[in-house]
Amino acid sequence: MGLHLIIDGYNLIRRSARLSLAEAEGLELGRQALIDRLAAYKRIKGHKITVVFDGAANHDDFFKGTSEKGIRVKFSRSGQTADSVIKKMAARES
């Protein structure tokens, strides 16, 4: 199996100057900016990419456990963190 990148979406957004500026205009804009950058990376590298965001209640129907531009998008459930989702995903793949 090839490399699968599993990313904590809000963590990465808030560590990037460009992405955090997009998020300052709105959560959806920050998420979309991240997905756009990940999709560009995927076109170059070809890796499977999943981005996990905290907070099931804080997303649009557009992002419900789907794929956008070849990037799988997941949200943690209420009471669950993106970190815990990522740990479970990584354990299943190891």
Domain residue ranges of the chain, discontinuous segments joined by +? 4-93
Instruction: Classify residue 32 as exposed, middle or buried by CB count within 10 Å of its CB (0-12, 13-18, 19+).
Output: middle
pLDDT of residue 60: 52
94 residues of the chain, pLDDT tens digit each = 589 999 999 999 999 999 999 999 999 999 999 999 999 999 999 999 999 999 865 555 444 568 899 999 998 888 889 999 999 999 998 7
3-state SS, residue 33:
helix
